[in-house]
A and B are shown apart, each in its own frame.
Chain A
Amino acid sequence: MTAEIYSALIIGSKIESLKAAYDLATIGHRVVIIEEESELKASLEDAEVLPSGVMSLYAIHPLLMAVRNHPLIHIVTSSIVYEIRHSRDGFSAFVRNRPCYIDPELCCFCGRCREICPVTLPGSLKKAVDCISERGIPRAFFVDKRKRPPCQKACPLGINIQGYLALIADGKFGEALDLIRESAPLVGILGRICHHPCESQCRRDEVDEPLAICSLKRFVSDYELEDPGHQVTVPEPEERYEEKIAIIGSGPAGLTAAWELTRLGYETTILEALPVIGGMLRTVIAGYRLPQTTLDHEIEALKKMGIEIVTDSPIGLDKSIDSLLFYDGFDAVLIATGADLNKKLGLNGEALAGVYHSIPFLKRISLGEKPTIGKQVVVIGGGNAAMESARTAVRLGAEEVNILYRRTRAEMPGDKEELDLTLEEGVKINYLVSPTRFTGKAGQLTGVNCIHMDLGKPGPNGKRRPLPKKDSEFTLDVDTAIVAIGQEPDLSFVDEGSPIRISRQSTIKVNRDYRTEQKGVFAAGDAITGSATVAEAMGAAKKAALSIHRHLRGEPWQEVEDREDTRGDYEPIDPETPHTSRQSMSVRETEERRHDFLEVELGYTREQAVKEAKRCMQCGVCSECRQCETVCEDVGAVNHSGLKKYGEYGFHLVISSRPLPEEFVSVLPEERIFHESEFGEGRNLEESLLFGAGLAGRAAAFLTSRMQVIPPDDKRLPPLYKKEVRTGLFVCTCNETIGNKEIINELLRFGAKFEEVIHSEVLPSACHPDGAGTIASAIEEKGITRVVLAACSCCTLDMICTACNDQRLRCKGNLFNKQGLDPSIFEMINLKNFLATRRGMDLQGILEGGKNMIECALSRVKFQKELPGQKGTVPKTVAVTGATPESLMAALNLEKMGYRVYLIDEGDTLSDKDVVGGDTSYALTVEGIREEINLGGITYLPGLQIKALEGHLGSFKMAFNGTSPSRLRVSAILFSGVDLENVPLTGNLLRKGFSHRALPGFPSFSPWSTGIPGIFEIMIPGENAFNRKGLPGAAAAAQVAALLRKSEIRAKNIVAQVDQDLCRGCGHCFEACPFSAIEMRGDDPEQKTAAIIEMHCQGCGTCVSICPTGAVDTTHKTEKQTEQLIEVMLR
């Protein structure tokens, strides 16, 4: 792909750059603006009050909007230029974009995303979806997304933790649960028994304590059970595949893999050896930690997804992995059999009656048996299984339970919470003790010989190795011992001859993509790692499922992609953050719970959950809960999968607000770099605009020989107007934020009742390209000849006022430029603002007002006339009068831009050899001018005084006191060093005088215009850097060139027209017109009539209000239309 070529690359978007961009684009150059913020800088500058009392933000707004709306200006926000290179066509800028996740070209600024966003940054009102300023350009929201939060990074399942915490804090419990289910099944189980590695990474720990992430997960799962209204949503897979997959084992890994594969679109069958489903979840984890009902509920949810679970179906004699693949029609097999074979101590007496091993011991209980247990029990081990065994022994009636652990508490692998509950229930823990043999009588256990240990140096697993302490043996009298020193996979079902390889630790060997050595057979969970945690087993199963999918689809394995760290680091933690301790969960009384198998922990209340969730530091700012996407479905502006984008833009020169970095400067020739800063800082707004104009002038002069200007686009003159009235009524809801459904429907019904209304329709967003598309196709299909659009645009005209905003302009742009519809047939009413200013009124009043507004619009559009528009060429001729340094510079610049320049000098300045004096830059200018005069580019006319001046932009007629020449016709005139009071205005300009538009404190976007379009006067704002660099001349040249080119196409717009039959030639309009747009025509001085010079007319209607006969009227909002409007309004 070749990059688009622009004349100018503008880095930064301060007012100077924007003025330069606007002038260059108006002259016909394509310009690209790269801004690092999400909005143009100039709209972000502090709200300064100008000496006139006007707020600068409001004063510059129309210019900013014009820049935003200019067809030749491409604005790229949230981006930086990181490299500049030579290219075949000149230079290329390489740009990196920080994604905003909201498309500024689609955002209708309804604000629903911000409203629903659950993330409010601690200590501020800022949301993760927000905007910098309400009047920004582009006027759009953006998503502030930072690095992935540490909790989520730590989660083996990649659960969006910050997201669900934010939703809980916002009271959206069901949504929180749905969000968790996007990454993991078995939420109620994880919420109870997960080892929560997330919590140890939580940054809240830097303030006080980590969030209770796990318990909050349990809370939302409990919430679902209590709120039957919440339906488990199972998204339909995008595609369904034919392949069937068998999963061996229904433990957490098997269930998770089945869940993921089903979501991917596969038919999955789980084969379970036991009569019960759930693996270790069912058989080992006791009911007081994980109630069977919770497990049943989670399994039920999986079955609802279509997962088939076959119990009593062990792999072994009549079923093998091979038979699954070759006879039963499965295309892949996942081994998820876990690790449920107890490790043995290998001590004497381990086979005595009364010595249990934890897994079979716990399994028997969960299958409904009640193993006999003595009064004195020891449990050997320090993991969760040991504590589980001890607590079960308590519940079975043991009088004293001792845990023996050969290291110290610090090395204990079991969960801290589990240990606390175990101790509460009266279990004693003996650290640094190891059994040496079991002793018994008549085959029955009577005691355990033990020895005290010391900790030595760390072993290969990082834990300090326990060493027996000499002469510290002792004996414990016990009648029951439970060995819980770890588990390993039971892989007896793997055939001897199978290619599946088994490690020395008795685990299945897999590649990093979970493939075994047998084709089509995968393994995950404890079966490949040995005994680990539920979350780790589930995380591996999820990845294995993806690997199976890739294998079946013939795609290569890929690591799961992490989200790019797109928007930088986490917000720093405020050291002043008030401490709030973690919510503690209520548990049942020890005495009560010691005697049954009912759940010990009772879960959070709603209040507790919200309070706890609110402690979250919102590390990633955006939590990716995607609530904003749900409210933007109809508009489709929010898209969270936006990634870093790169762009290349070809260009010829750079205008930058700051000095460019060395590596750019080394590539670019000096003549192609235009800095604002080289002219110093501290300009006021007017000076900034002049600077911008000056930069544009110099740039345009530089570019002319290198870059063709783009011919004006005449799409703005569509011929669609018909006299017949067939009206279409369209009402925009601004993504359901204008009024409410009742109001909108009532207004639509009301409008549809009118005879001429042949079509009525509600649009979700009129400023969306699809909104314009809908209107355009309705016009075509239904033969609509008039359109009333009730949205937020105020008018159909090709003008930008202070009140205008991105959405209003975009709406018009889409309709009139992109769809090519005729603005003449439209009437636009700002229903949004109407309803916003009637908030608090009673519904009846609002409806009455709204209906009236619709009726007014319908009646006005009936009498709409076709707006005139014109296209023509304006001769490229300019008169520059006065031989000042500025005018000479302007003449030179205009000549370079391809204009025929007449330099009119009252004296004979240039022939005077001494004129140059000591000023070197002036000397250079004079030298340049002399050269151009010799080459014929500039015509020097010395010794001429203006005798008469009349005409208009594009055709000014000058007469001189002198003969060579005596007359001249030019398109524009630039004065410098001439007192305008002495310029004899005649004809249509007679008695008009020059009214300078730029008053102090009222910045003009067209500096030095005089009130007569096409006539400029250079006024130097005092001695400063601007003058010294010769910019005034360049600025003036840019103003002239921009205006002349702009006047070649006049879009369909409002102008005044004179009815010659009614005009009696009084001349009141001629006198009143502020733009010299009226001339009195006619040969007989007594019988002149008024005529409009459309090139000058701004459509203000001053002439209409002053005409005594009603001969003058505007083409739009005519007197008749306005009278009609008054009548309907006051009815």
Chain B
Amino acid sequence: MRQRIKVLAFLCNWAPWSCYTGMGEQGMPVPGEVNVIRVMCAARVSTALLLKAFEKGADGVLIVGCRTDNCQHGTGPDLAERNIDHTREILDILGLERERVQFTYYLAHESEKLSSDLHRFVEKMETFGKSPVSG
């Protein structure tokens, strides 16, 4: 049997978490492949944590944050993207697809958008297949 892929999504407390709980309230399913970790800010997710996820067998990692102009802390999305760029360089060296780590952002009411993006990300990771690290 083909092994199911595993996706880790770091969700910021603010707009993304509101979208996520909104999904529950409106009965929108989260793909079974997705594991969710709630963080105080997208900028909290260090490169170390991103790499840890790949080390432990994640096939894809998402950092879900807020739109830059709506960030509670002002700088979250910029720093998150910086951490992602950094991680991608390392993924390159490791021979993993750069797109296995991504940043997305939402406003607090955009549950539907988050839902479809999660599904799309899972599909995309399926085209990449299992990460060689997880084997």
Contact = CB atoms under 8 A, between A and B. Distances in A.
Contact of B83 (A57, A1105, A1117, A1130): A1105
Nearest to B4: A845
A861 to B, nearest CB: 15
Given A1105-B45, A1126-B37, A1130-B8, 18 more contacts: A52-B70, A54-B107, A801-B13, A833-B20, A833-B21, A833-B23, A837-B23, A839-B29, A841-B29, A1054-B40, A1074-B75, A1104-B46, A1105-B49, A1125-B37, A1126-B49, A1129-B8, A1130-B35, A1131-B56
A868 to B, nearest CB: 16
Given A1072-B79, A1105-B47, A1130-B8, A1098 B73 contact: yes
A1119 B48 CA distance: 9
B24 interface: yes
Interface string A763-800: 00000000000000000000000000000001100010
24 contacts: A54-B109, A58-B107, A795-B38, A801-B18, A802-B18, A803-B17, A803-B18, A832-B24, A834-B24, A852-B35, A995-B74, A997-B74, A1011-B74, A1072-B43, A1074-B73, A1102-B41, A1102-B44, A1102-B76, A1105-B43, A1105-B49, A1114-B40, A1117-B39, A1119-B46, A1122-B37
Interface string A837-879: 1111100010001001000000000000000000000000000
A1072 B83 CA distance: 13
B30 interface: yes
Contacts of B72: 1098, 1100
A836 B27 contact: yes
A803 B11 CA distance: 12
B47 to A, nearest CB: 7
A1126 B109 contact: no
Contacts of B62: none
A134 interface: yes
Contacts of A1125: 37
The main secondary structure of chain B at its interface with chain A is mixed
Given A802-B14, A1105-B47, A1119-B48, A1126 B39 contact: no
Q: Give me the 5 closest cross-chain CB pairs, A-B, nearest first.
A: A1101-B44, A836-B24, A833-B24, A1105-B46, A58-B108
A1127 interface: yes
B79 A1130 contact: no
A54 to B, nearest CB: 6
Contacts of A57: 109
B21 A803 contact: yes
A55 interface: yes
Contact of B20 (A53, A134, A837): A837
A837 B32 CA distance: 9
A6 interface: no
Contacts of A830: 21, 24
B45 A802 contact: no
B21 to A, nearest CB: 4
Contacts of B75: 1072, 1074, 1102
Nearest to A1122: B49
B13 A1101 contact: no
Contacts of B69: 52, 999, 1002
A1062 interface: no
Given A1074-B75, A1105-B47, A837 B57 contact: no
Contacts of A1127: 52, 56
Nearest to B59: A1130
B64 interface: no
A1100 B40 contact: yes
Interface residues of A, number: 57
A839 B69 CA distance: 34
A1102 B81 CA distance: 12
A802 B30 contact: no
A55 B107 contact: yes
A954 interface: no
Nearest to A1102: B43
A1130 B58 contact: yes
B15 interface: yes
A57 B30 CA distance: 24
A832 B25 CA distance: 10
Given A53-B107, A58-B18, A1126-B8, A838 B29 contact: yes
Contacts of B57: 1130
B6 interface: yes
A1117 B10 CA distance: 13
B28 interface: yes
A932 B61 CA distance: 61
B38 to A, nearest CB: 6
Interface residues of B, number: 48
Contacts of A1002: 69-70
B41 to A, nearest CB: 4
Contacts of B29: 837-841
Contacts of B44: 1100-1102, 1104-1105, 1114, 1117
B53 interface: yes
Nearest to B44: A1101
Which of B40, B46, B52 has the most chain A CB atoms inside 10 A of its CB? B40
A57 B38 CA distance: 23
B55 to A, nearest CB: 9
Interface in A327-367: none
Contacts of A1098: 72-73
Interface string A47-83: 0000011110111010000000000000000000000
A801 B30 CA distance: 21
A112 B39 CA distance: 32
B31 to A, nearest CB: 9
A1105 B50 CA distance: 10
Nearest to A1129: B35
A1106 interface: yes
Nearest to B16: A803
Which of A1074, A1098, A1127 has the most chain B CB atoms inside 10 A of its CB? A1074
Interface in A958-974: none
Contacts of B58: 1126, 1130
Interface in A976-1034: 995, 997, 999, 1002, 1011
A1101 B79 contact: no
Contacts of A839: 27, 29
A91 interface: no
Nearest to B118: A837
Given A1054-B40, A1102-B44, A1123 B52 contact: yes
A1127 B76 CA distance: 25
Nearest to A135: B25
Nearest to A848: B32
A1117 B40 CA distance: 9
Contacts of B107: 53-55, 58
A1075 interface: yes
B32 to A, nearest CB: 5
A801 to B, nearest CB: 5
Contact of B108 (A54, A134, A834, A1074): A54
Interface in A787-828: 794-795, 799, 801-803
A185 interface: no
B41 A1100 contact: yes
B65 to A, nearest CB: 11
Interface in A676-696: none
Nearest to A1001: B69
B25 A134 contact: yes
A1106 B13 CA distance: 19
A5 to B, nearest CB: 37
A805 to B, nearest CB: 8
Contacts of A1100: 40-41, 43-44, 72-73, 76
Contacts of B18: 58, 801-803
Contacts of A134: 25
A841 B8 CA distance: 19
B41 A1101 contact: yes
A839 B26 CA distance: 11
Contacts of A1072: 43, 75, 79
